[in-house]
Amino acid sequence: MSGAVLTLNAGSSSLKFALYAGTGDLPMAEGMVDRIGADEARLTLKSASGESLPVADLPLNDHAQSMNAVLSSLRTAFPNTEPRAIGHRVVHGGANHAQPVMIDEAKLAELETYSPFAPLHQPHNLAGIRAAMKAFPGVPQIACFDTAFHRTHPWVNDTFALPREYYDRGVRRYGFHGLSYEYISGELRNTAPLIADGRVVVAHLGNGASMCAIQNGRSVASTMGFSALDGLPMGTRSGQVDPGVLLYLMDQENMDSTAISDMLYRRSGLLGLSGGVSNDMRTLEASDSKEAHQAIEYFVFRVQRELGAMAAAMGGIDALVFCGGIGENSRLIRARVCERTEWIGLEIDHARNAENARIISSDVSRARIMVIPTDEGLVIARAARAHLAQERAA
Residue 84 forms part of a structural domain: yes
Give whichever of 127-131, 133-137, 266-270 has the largest mean pLDDT: 266-270
Mean pLDDT confidence for 276-289: 97
From 114, 130, 145, the end of a domain falls on: 145
Side-chain-side CA neighbours of 327 within 13 Å: the count stands at 27
Task: Write the CB contacts of 22 (distance below 8 Å, at least 6 apart in sequence).
Answer: 1, 2, 3, 4, 5, 385
Residue 310 forms part of a structural domain: yes
From 87, 122, 145, the end of a domain falls on: 145
Tell me which of 10 and 359 has the higher pLDDT.
Answer: 359
Residue 154 forms part of a structural domain: no
- Are residue 91 and residue 196 in the same domain, yes or no? no
pLDDT at 225 over 60: yes
pLDDT given for residue 1 in this prediction: 41
At 309-342, the pLDDT tens digits run 999 999 999 999 999 999 999 999 999 999 999 9
Question: pLDDT band at residue 119, thresholds of 50, 70 and 90?
Answer: confident
CB atoms within 10 A of CB 44: 13
Mean pLDDT confidence for 250-275: 97
pLDDT given for residue 121 in this prediction: 87
Indicate the Cα dihedral angle 167, 170, 175, 181, nearest 10°: 120
- Are residue 119 and residue 53 in the same domain, yes or no? yes
Active site residue 349: no
pLDDT at 110 over 60: yes
User: Considering the chain, what percentage of its residues have pLDDT values greater than 90?
Assistant: 89
- Are residue 369 and residue 233 in the same domain, yes or no? yes
pLDDT given for residue 304 in this prediction: 98
Mean pLDDT confidence for 58-72: 92
- Are residue 114 and residue 210 in the same domain, yes or no? no
CA-nearest of 82, 45, 67 to 130 is: 67
Residue 389 forms part of a structural domain: no
At 6-53, the pLDDT tens digits run 999 988 788 999 999 989 999 999 999 998 988 899 999 999 999 999
3-state SS assignment for residue 90: strand
At 166-196, the pLDDT tens digits run 999 999 999 999 999 999 999 999 999 999 9
Report pTM.
0.94
- Are residue 123 and residue 194 in the same domain, yes or no? no
Residue type, 298: Y
Mean pLDDT confidence for 84-89: 96
Residue 386 forms part of a structural domain: no
Residue 177 forms part of a structural domain: no
Q: Which of 58-72, 250-264, 275-289 shows the lowest per-residue confidence on average (mean pLDDT)?
A: 58-72
- Are residue 208 and residue 355 in the same domain, yes or no? yes
3-state SS assignment for residue 237: coil
- Are residue 219 and residue 139 in the same domain, yes or no? no
Q: How far is 313 from 20, CA to CA, in rounded Å?
A: 38
- Are residue 231 and residue 359 in the same domain, yes or no? yes
At 147-170, the pLDDT tens digits run 999 999 999 999 999 999 999 999
Catalytic residue among 25, 104, 146, 280: 146
Question: pLDDT band at residue 2, thresholds of 50, 70 and 90?
Answer: low
- Are residue 203 and residue 281 in the same domain, yes or no? yes
Residue 158 forms part of a structural domain: no
By residue range, what is the domain housing residue 261? 189-376
- CATH number for the domain spanning 19: value is 3.30.420.40
From 145, 176, 209, the end of a domain falls on: 145
pLDDT given for residue 377 in this prediction: 94
pLDDT given for residue 215 in this prediction: 98
3-state SS assignment for residue 20: strand
Average pLDDT for the chain = 95
pLDDT at 199 over 70: yes
Q: How far is 11 from 35, CA to CA, in rounded Å?
A: 10
- Are residue 236 and residue 340 in the same domain, yes or no? yes
- Are residue 269 and residue 340 in the same domain, yes or no? yes
Residue 176 forms part of a structural domain: no
Tell me which of 40 and 355 has the higher pLDDT.
Answer: 355
Q: How many domains does the chain have?
A: 2
